[in-house]
Amino acid sequence: MTRLWIGLLNFFSGLEFRIADRLGEAPAVLFHFFLFWILPVVFLYLPLRPLALLGIILAVFYIFILIGDIFFSVFGHDKLEKKRGMIDITSVQEIKQEIIGALVKYFGGVVSFATIFNGLQIFLKGRAFIVPNPSPLPYFDLFYFSVVTITTVGYGDIQASHWVSRAFAITEIIFGLGFVLLLFTMLISVYIDIQQKKRVK
């Protein structure tokens, strides 16, 4: 499992780096957003069921990649860190970039879980979640549920009513807590680095 995660993380990082090298940073970010955020949502609402299933699979795959990224960022993996440039944050600008990158991934998790939730609602014919007052935009209700779940607020107005939707809600809560752990780990690591550099001077 570890090798699969490392291989996938390296592959997608390398792909984004190649796009950034050839076309610039903005196209690489747009490629990422389109492939993992927009395309799965579009697939959900096309009339072909296999495309809706593909949208769910892309969202689950993205969550799998993000969980691996969180795990290796928090607990470390030397080969992966060296290859992806995750070792030795040396400036405040790099710290800001890492934190912004982590927050973008956090939001990507929200979007991906919302896509999964909407896909479950479609495939289970409205029985995956209880939505008392649905909005005119069906994606919005479960996007709202995703935000409430990942932040562990839990208003209770929308409820997971099927065991599969509950399992994904539990996964999202653990995912959100993992990101909080990631941010704390990054900040503590930076603090330790700063203290060590002060002692050397």
Question: At 146, is the pLDDT very low, low, confident or very high (cuts 50, 70, 90)?
Answer: very high
Instruction: Return the pLDDT at 195.
Output: 75
Instruction: Return the pLDDT at 124.
Output: 92
pTM above 0.85, yes or no: no
Question: At 32, is the pLDDT very low, low, confident or very high (cuts 50, 70, 90)?
Answer: confident
Residues with Cβ < 8 Å from 1, sequence gap 6 or more? Answer: none
Residues with Cβ < 8 Å from 117, sequence gap 6 or more? Answer: 128, 129, 142, 145, 146, 165, 168
Q: Is the confidence at residue 110, as pLDDT, over 90?
A: yes
Paired with 130 in beta bridges are: 159
